[in-house]
Amino acid sequence: MDIFQKCFEFTRAEETKAAGLYPFFHEITSRQHAEVMMYGRRTVMLGSNNYLGLTSDDRVIAAAQAALDTFGSGCSGSRYLNGTLSLHNEMERQLAEFFGKEAAVSFSTGFQTNLGILAGICSYHDNLYFDRMNHASLVDGARLSFGKTLKYRHNNMEELEELLARCPEDRGKMIVVDGVFSMEGDLADLPNIVRLARRYGARILVDDSHGAGVMGKTGRGCGEHFGLMDEIDLYMGTFSKSFASLGGFVAGETKVIEYLKHHSRPFIFSASMPPPNVGAVIEALRILQAEPERVARLNQNADYMRRELSRLGLPIGDSVAPIIPILTYFDERTFRVTRALLERGVYVNPVVSPAVPAGEAILRTSYTATHTQEQLDHALEQFEHVLLREFPISEEEVAAARAPAEHA
């Protein structure tokens, strides 16, 4: 059998393109901002993770250019050998200090960070306790490790406790969870996770990619939001969201970070973050500390949209973060709605099966500190027109859409 046979048989993308409904790989011809240029028209961007609006901030761009001028375009090697710059060490020192940990280490992408943490730490004698809604990078990191993965239903603390209670004493235990869940916009039940970790002697890894710079009064994430930052053993975040760059990091005890530096294959065998990316992170972190009002403004925008979307009667789930899913149920309806919104100057991310269960497709919308009232109100007008007038859905259709998921 030809190993490429599955590629030749994959026709879904071609079929969607032929129907004029393909919603992916849209080209942007401007800076990533609250409003972007797409297909020659100004478009309100509600699909970006640029939470603090810093990717187009002139100060961040200048810092990236300064790092480029001083250190060049790349590092030509891994951190383990020739690829560590003074800039990397300074960034990691500042990150550790900001998040209240002893040390931190950076990786070249966020996905790679989770691969590196889990594959670097977990062995044959370890158990990983996973929320079923965890990000794909955590799932793949667990697969790459030699640990045993045990999954519990989303935020179901009773099921998590049952799994922990059955763990033999001679096995290591780590609860692995997203801080903010990237599709749902809800939070991990960190208070109860901490309680169970204490009771059963487990460590805690929080992937706070969508919480860093977003949650908590000063943007220190879900740990700050719950007042439990000191209870998180490993705090992971990415730079492609609030920090206007690319890469990721993990912060924790010095001995654990040092172990990762010498045992994490994705860290050891990958080229280090390029200087401009590091310079951008350092400046974004400086701005976050100097301007905490950005965090407040971000969450005010998200609260406004939650309130107004609910007023329109649109189903938005249990979001509390600046990620608000709007249930569209059917995949084809989702594609049609996405296209119609784009034509009316609003970009959203369609999320369909198998990324979500059949009958539970969503528009993933996300908000930034730099969205204006005018932009948000424009988006609301388009949501009302497209979802409630152009492509309405009845209660009977909703029930039919959800039947496959409920049956599964």
Distance separating alpha carbons of residues 244 and 246, to the nearest angstrom: 7
Active-site annotation holder among 241, 242, 264, 366:
241
Active-site annotation holder among 88, 101, 210, 225:
210
User: How far from the centroid of its chain's Cα atoms is residue 100's Cα?
Assistant: 21
How far is CA 123 from each of CA 23, 120, 144, 147, 265, rounded to the nearest angstrom?
41, 8, 10, 5, 14
| Tokens at 263, concatenated | 């045992």
Do residues 37 and 28 make contact, with C-beta atoms less than 8 angstroms apart?
yes
Tens of pLDDT, residues 329-388: 999 999 999 999 999 999 999 999 888 888 899 999 999 999 999 999 999 999 999 999
Quick count: other Cβ atoms within 10 Å of Cβ 297?
17
The residues of the chain scoring below 50 in pLDDT are: 407
Which residues have a Cβ under 8 Å from the Cβ of 385 and sit 6 or more positions away? 344
Q: Hey, is 273 helix, strand or coil?
A: coil
Q: Hey, is 327 helix, strand or coil?
A: strand
Closest CA to 384 of 324, 342, 341: 341
pLDDT of residue 142: 96
Where along the chain do its domains lie?
A: 11-45+292-407, 58-290
6 an active-site residue? no
- The CATH number given to 58-290 is 3.40.640.10
Same fold, 11-45+292-407 and 58-290: no
CATH of 11-45+292-407, one of 3.40.1190.20, 3.90.1150.10, 2.10.109.10, 3.40.50.2300: 3.90.1150.10
Do residues 361 and 353 make contact, with C-beta atoms less than 8 angstroms apart?
yes
pLDDT of residue 405: 57
Active-site annotation holder among 108, 182, 209, 264:
182
Quick count: other Cβ atoms within 10 Å of Cβ 64?
23
DSSP code, position 32 = S
What is the edge-to-edge ordering of all strands in the sheet holding 323-329? Answer: 323-329, 361-366, 349-351
DSSP code, position 239 = S
225 an active-site residue? no
Closest CA to 278 of 56, 20, 67, 62: 67
State the helix-helix crossing angle for 293-311 and 275-290, rounded to 10 degrees.
Answer: 80
Closest CA to 112 of 260, 332, 321: 260
pTM of the prediction?
0.95
33 an active-site residue? no
Residue type, 359: G
User: What is the chain's mean pLDDT, rounded?
Assistant: 96
Q: Hey, is 102 helix, strand or coil?
A: coil
| Tokens at 202, concatenated | 């487990």
Do residues 128 and 105 make contact, with C-beta atoms less than 8 angstroms apart?
no
How many CA atoms lie less than 13 Å away from 114 in the CB half-sphere?
A: 22
Q: In b/e form, how buried is each residue of 195-227, taking b as 16+ CB within 10 angstroms?
A: ebbeebebbbbbbbbbbbbbbbeebbbbbbbbe
E strand residue ranges, 46-139: 103-107, 126-131
pLDDT of residue 397: 83
